[in-house]
Each structure stands twice: as C-alpha cells, then as structure tokens.
Amino acid sequence: MEKEPRRLMNYATLAICLVLILLVYATFFQSNDTLIDSWGYRLTNSRSNLSSERINIDADGPQEFLLRRLVRGDDRVRFDFNGFSCHTDVHSEVCVVNKPVRIYSKGLTVYVPYDDQPRLERIVKPYARREDETAMKLVSPVQIVHGNSTIKPPPACNFTHNVTAVVFSSKGFTGNVFHEFNEIIIPLFITTRHFRSRLKFVITDFELWWVHKYNRVLSHLSGYDVINPDDGSVHCFPGAVVGLKYHDNLALNDSDIPGGFSMFDFKNFLKESYNLKINHVSEIRKPVLMLISRHNSRRFLNEDEMVEMMEGLGFQVTRAEPERMSNLDEFAEVVNSCSVMVGAHGAGLTNEIFLPAGAVTVQVVPLAHEWVSTNYFGGPAKAMGVRYLEYKIEPEESSLFDTYGKDHPVITDPESVISKGYYAYRSVYVDGQDLKIKLERFKKILIEAKQILKTSTPSNR
C-alpha cells in the first residue's frame, strides 16, 4: 500500500519535467514570436521614462548573425569575406555592413573603413520603389564610401551608438497610405523584425509628420528614438543596413524573411502596435460596414442612396473620409471594429490590413482599373485573412460615359488610351472618373458579403 503513493509521486514528477522541457524548447527554438519576444516588447513599452541608450533587450544573436540573415547566395559570400555586401533588384537596393560605420549628415555619407580594399563609392536611394522614376526623384541619395580611409579619413564621431543603424527615406510617395505601407512600413518589418528592437532608424528626407503618424510602428520595431541625420553631426554605429527589402504589393514572402514571418505575423504585429482588440469578425454582433468616402476622384455620386440601401440590408454604416483616416492611431481601431469595407479603387482600401480575420473587402472597380485593383488589393487580401469581393462597374456607371459618349474609345477601347502612356491613362481613368452605382445590382454583392459573415468562423491557427 505504501508503494502506491510513491508511484503516483514519481508519475507527477515525470509529468512536471516533461512540461518544463517543452517550455524551454518553446522559449529557445521557436522561429517566430516567442515568450522571450513578448517579454521583450513589454519591457520596451515600459521604457518611456528611461534613457534610450540604457535599454538592453536581447536579440536573436550577435550583430553579425542578424545582419548575415539579410543576405543570400553570392552576396553572403562577399559579406563573409569583407563584412560588406549590396544587393539590387527591380524594386530596391539594400547594402548590409558588419563593420563600424560613420554616418555624416553633410551629403548623407556613410563611411565604411576597410584598409585592405581600394576606396569605392556607391550611391543608394533607400526607398523601395526603384523602378519608379517619379518616386525616386523625390528621394535623396546616400553615398557609401567603402575601402581604404588613410588618404581621406572620415570625420570624427559626435555620437556613438551600440546598435545597428537602419537607413531609409521617408519621402517618395508618402502622403498616400498605400505607398506608405507598401514601400516603407512592410519593407521595414521585413528588414528589421528579427532584430527584436536592437537597432536605430536613421531617416533621410526626414518628415516629422510621417514619424508622428507611424510612431507606434517605429517604436515597436526599435527600442530607440529615431535619428534625423540632418543635424550636421557624425553618428557612429557598429554596423548598418542602408535601404529596405521589398517583396510585392502589400506582401511578405515568408521564405525570404529572417525568422520566416508572414502576413499573419505582420497583422499580429499591427494588432500589438495599435492595441487592436477584435481578432475575428464573429466577435462583432451587428455587422458594421465601412464606406470609404472619396472627395476628389472616383467619388460615389449617389453615396447617400448607397448608405440608405446598406442600412436597409441591416448594416450599421460608418463613413471614412480622408480627414478621419489621417489619425492612424484612432482610425486603426475603427477599422478593426468593422465587418465589411467598401470602397472604389484607391489608397483608402489599404486599411483592409486592420480588418479582423474573416471580414470582407468589397472593391468597386472603375473602368480600366482591373489589373491594379486585383494586384494592389485583391491578391493581398487573402493573405491578410480577409475575404475579397469585386464589383466591376458597367460603362453606364462611370461619369466618363456621359462625358465622352458610349461609342468613344475611352469607353469602348481603354487600351487605346493606356497605350499612350501612364499620364494619359491617369488623367482620364484615375483623376477624371466618378461613379454612380446601380443600387439593385450592387445590392447582390452586399448580400453575398453578409452571407460570408454568417458562415465565417475562426480558424485554429
């Protein structure tokens, strides 16, 4: 009889040991967000009264390891050989440096001393839309001076930092929320998430309004204040990344990100950054529909009638106007409380990224907007866990029908206008078109959206 309690105690001890082993494994070997990561961010968020230089959150490893994860193939061979490598593709150019660097605001110069190599100079524009000449004209070049520095030594350090610098521009097409997410925010996440806040952002073409707008994102990716290099100072770092990695429109390729982060992880990061409460659309009792209200072009000319019809279907309707969308800290929460987002093709639909899982985006596709509608918002929605529906207008629903007439090439042959170049296309179809929706026809797509909501259930992920 005495052996029975002892046997039970042995079983309990074994069970406790197994649980401890599993916890240790989860903490140290999980590739994505870990228990340590969550603790690190809680520490970061409580730092408001501390000096930024005193923060010491453990990253995944030493600087060389973290930087090396950003380079592949031949670039990694060069990086291992001399601690410096640059990669250029259609969209972006990224240089990675595992050496002490000096960043001098005068002429935006990054000095990378290396006495065994001849002096080389390279120009990089740190904005992820290299293929677009219009955007890149707005981005200031950063000069990287790499190699022997004995003949012309770099200037002395005014400020010395103990973490990696990440240099990028806040110019380009900022002011448009699609481009802000597409070319800066998502590329920032791709490039820096695995550093676990152990880095400093050096923002060229410094736009204070942009830094304020995205302060929550910046402060969750870095444990330090951002640096405006336009102060005449020399900032010294143990290493640097110049430029941001880019994958596709509002997209992350988890096989090409250190840590294997996906759009699912990025949305969780946004939920944490903006303190979003609703995980799945089934948590919303009465369906809430957000209507993106445009003022300049691609306006809904019968918007009031559309709202009346939507409310008749049982939706609680909230209109999102440009002024309302400018305060992202507040607007992200509003979007997160919505079941359906409806809008004509335009930057406002980027906010679908804040919708809860299982919500529905309905994109109204104006004339000659098929490709951009699908590729900018339709394709990315699925990876966001959002259901996507399209409403392609008929020619009679476009203001162009009345302006040009039903037999004009603008209506019958959009390709003939597109072939004249982007600016000809833009002036007609992007800037010169408004919409008058056929209510009975559009009602069918909203009924479909409502049916999707009824059958939507949380996944086990």
C-beta of residue 361 within 8 angstroms of C-beta of residue 377: yes
Distance of CA 177 to the CA centre of its chain: 10
Mean pLDDT of the chain: 88
Quickly list DSSP for 245-260.
---BTTB--GGGSTT-
pLDDT of residue 148: 79
The residue type found at 43 is L
Look at phi and psi of residue 426 and say left if phi exceeds 0, alpha if psi is from -120 to 50, else beta.
alpha
Q: Distance of CA 176 to CAs 101, 179, 310, 418, Å?
A: 33, 6, 28, 23
Question: How many Å apart are CA 199 and CA 192, to the nearest integer?
Answer: 8
pLDDT for the residue numbered 56: 37
pLDDT band at 30 (very low <50, low <70, confident <90, very high): very low
State pLDDT tens for residues 71-94: 999 999 999 998 999 999 999 999
Is the predicted pLDDT of residue 236 greater than 60, yes or no? yes
Model confidence at 358: pLDDT above 80: yes
Closest CA to 45 of 223, 266, 269, 265: 223
Winning range, highest mean pLDDT, from 40-49, 99-108, 215-224: 215-224
Gap between the Cα atoms of 223 and 54, Å rounded: 10
- Beta carbons within 8 Å of 277's beta carbon, 6+ residues apart: 333, 336
Q: Which pLDDT band, with edges at 50, 70 and 90, does 231 fall under?
A: confident
